[in-house]
Chains A and B, each alone.
Chain A
C-alpha cells in the first residue's frame, strides 16, 4: 500500500516535471520579435536552410509528409504549428523541444533562425509580422562590428567588438563572445570570453583540434546576450594536421574488390586454377583415348 502511494507520488512529480519542461517558454522569449522585416530575400535564405536542416523531419511544408515520429513533428503550415508566436518559434528552434526536436543554437545563427521563420510564415496567409523594434539598443547595435584575429607574436586568438554610433569607433566592453569550430555536422562550441575595456576578448584554444590536411580550422565567433547577434569567422592554421585515412585504403573483407586481402585473392584464384587444371588434364586424357583409337583403326 505504502509502496503504491509512493509510486503514484513519484509518477505525479515526474509527470508534472515533464509538463513543466515542455510548456514553459519564458514570457520575454515569447514576446521576442524578429530584428528585421521579413522579405523575399530572407524567405529565400530561409528556404535553403529549411531544406538542409528541417525537411528530414518536418517534410515539405503544406504536404503533411513529416517523418512518422512520436510526438509528430507537425507540418509547419498546419494551424497548430502556426499558432506559435514568432518568439515561441525562435525559442523552440534555439533550445529544442521535447526529446526529438533538436536545438539549433549552435548550428544556425540568430539571423538564419529568423530566416527560417520568415520562410515558414510565408505559408500562412493570415500572418502579419509584428512591428520590428527599432528603438534604443537595437538601433545602437546596428552599427556594432566584431572582428576576429590571431596574434602571431603572442599566439593568441582575439576578438574585438566596436561601435561607431556617432561616427567615432568606440570599444564595447562586457560583451560575451562564444567561440566555435566548424565541424562536418555543425559548429562545435569551444570556449567563451568577455570583452575588456578595450573591447577585446582573448580565447584559449586547445591545441589538439583536428584540422584539415594542412592544419586549417574554421573559427566562428558569436556574441551572445545582446539583442542583435554579431558573428564573424576566421580560417587559421591552429589545428592538428589531419590526413583523413580513407577506410577503403586498406585491404579488408569489407573493402572494394580491388582492396581484398591478398591471401583471399590467392586462395580464390588457386582454387579456380586447381580445378581448371584438373579439368583440362581430364580433357587431354580423353583426347589421348581418341588418338589411341584413331591409330588402331588406321592400322
Chain B
C-alpha cells in the first residue's frame, strides 16, 4: 500500500475517510425492502411483456405507420443518458478538473446501467425476439442498425472495464475495512483487486490504462449516439432528414445524462450521508456544466427547427405545423420551455445551484429529455409521404397502450436495480483517488513526474 503520511492526525483522517466511504458497502434491510419493491414492480412489467410475446406486438399501440413508438423513444433516451460516463470521466476528467473525482464513479455506474439496458429496450420493440441473432447473421455492414448494435455493445463493455479499472485500488483497501460484511463479498474484493499493493509500478500501469480507456471512451460514446441519430437521419422523412442530427443528439445526451447525474448525486449524498464529499461546490460546478451543455443543445434546437421552419418545404411544413401549433404543440413547447430554457435561466441564478432546487430542476430536465425523444421519434411517422388510406383510426394516430407503458417502465426499473446493487457492493466515491487528492496518500508517480 502506498505510504500514508506518518503523522497520526493524517492516519486518523485516512481512517475517517475509509470509514465514511466503505460504510455504504453493506447489504442492509432497507436495501432488501427496496429491491423487493423493485422486483415486484418488475414482475408486473414482465407479465405485460409476456402478454406481448404471447399475442404479438399488436398489444402495443404501434401500427404500420407509427411503428416506432415509446419503445424506441425509450431506447434513444437510454443510449443518451449513458453518455454521461464519457462526459464526466472522459471530457471533464481528462481536462484535469480535480473536483470531478467524487462524481466519476456515479457517472460510470449510470453509464454501465443505461448502456446495459439499452440493448434490452430494443428487444422490447421486436415482435420475434428469438430472431435477434439474425441481426448478426444476416446483418449488413452498410446498415446503421448494425453499427448501432456494434457500438452500443462496445460502449457497454468499455464502460464496464473502465468502472472496474478505477475500482481496483479501492477493492484492495476494502480488505481492512469490510469487517462484518458477507464473506462472499470480501472474497470478491480480494479476487478483483488483483492483489493490489499500490507500488509505483502498479500505479503507473493503472494510470496509463485509465487514461487510455478515457481517451477511447470519447470516440466510442460519441459514435453510439451519433449512430443512433443516423437511424433517423439517413431517411428522407421530414423531421429526421437532417444533417445536424449527430451533434444535436450528442448535445441532448449530455443534457439528459447530467440531469440524471444530479438526481443520483442528490440521493447518494443524502442517503449515504456523503455531505462532506459531495458538497454544494460540486452541485454548483455540475449546474454550470449543465448550463453549458444545455446552451449547446438549445443552439442545435434553434438550428434544427428555425431553419426548416423558415423554408417550410411542403412535407416539412406539415410536420412542423404539428409541432409548433398542432396536435403536439403542448408537448413540444412544454419540453422546450420546462425542460431546457427555464432550467438554463434558473441555473444561472446562484440560489438555484443548491442541491434541493437542482434536484427539482434535474427531474424536469430528465423528464423533458425523455419526452423530447418521443417528439423526435413519433410525430414524423404520423405524416408519411403517401396518404394514409383505408386504415382504422388507431393506425393514423399513435397512442401507447397500458401494456406498452408497463413494458417501457421495465428497463427503468432494471437501471435502478443495477445502480442500487453496484452502489451497495462498491464504494460510490473513488476512495484511493479522493485520498490522494486530499493528500492523505502520497502518489509517488506524481512526485516522480515533478522531479523530471
A contact set with B: CB distance below 8 Å: 68, 253-257, 260-261, 264-265, 268, 272, 275, 278-279, 281-282, 285-286, 288-290, 292-294, 296-297
Contact = CB atoms under 8 A, between A and B. Distances in A.
A264 B201 contact: no
A292 B213 contact: no
Nearest to B162: A282
Give the interface SS of chain A, mostly helix, strand, loop or mixed: helix
B205 interface: yes
Given A282-B212, A293-B196, A255 B142 contact: yes
B389 A68 contact: yes
Given A278-B212, A290-B194, A296 B141 contact: no
Interface stretch (B153-161, B252-260, B268-276, B325-333): B153-161
A273 to B, nearest CB: 12
A286 B194 contact: yes
Interface in B140-182: 140-142, 147, 150, 154, 157-158, 161, 165, 168
Given A268-B147, A281-B212, A289 B141 contact: no
Given A268-B147, A282-B213, A289-B196, A260 B206 contact: no
Given A68-B390, A272-B150, A292 B199 contact: yes
Contact of A275 (B168, B199, B220): B220
Contacts of B206: 285, 289
Interface residues of B, number: 30
Nearest to A67: B390
Contacts of A264: 141-142
B205 A257 contact: no
B140 A257 contact: yes
A290 B216 CA distance: 23
Contacts of B213: 282
B138 interface: yes
Interface in B198-235: 199, 201-202, 205-206, 208-209, 212-213, 216, 220
Interface of B: 138-142, 147, 150, 154, 157-158, 161, 165, 168, 194-197, 199, 201-202, 205-206, 208-209, 212-213, 216, 220, 389-390
B157 A279 contact: yes
A296 B197 contact: yes
A292 B154 contact: no
Nearest to B140: A257
22 contacts: A260-B140, A260-B141, A261-B142, A268-B141, A268-B147, A272-B150, A275-B154, A275-B216, A279-B157, A279-B158, A281-B212, A282-B161, A285-B206, A285-B208, A286-B209, A289-B195, A289-B205, A289-B206, A290-B194, A292-B199, A293-B194, A293-B195
A238 to B, nearest CB: 41
Nearest to A251: B142
A286 B216 CA distance: 17
A74 B390 CA distance: 17
Contacts of B196: 289, 293
Contacts of B205: 285, 288-289
A294 B201 CA distance: 13
Contacts of B208: 285
A299 B194 CA distance: 17
A64 to B, nearest CB: 14
A278 B202 contact: no
A282 B194 contact: no
Given A254-B142, A255-B142, A286-B194, A278 B216 contact: yes
Contacts of B389: 68
A75 B137 CA distance: 46
Contacts of B138: 257
A279 to B, nearest CB: 7
Contact of B195 (A254, A281, A297): A297
A275 to B, nearest CB: 6
Contacts of A257: 138-142
A232 B147 CA distance: 57
Contact of A260 (B142, B199, B201, B212): B142
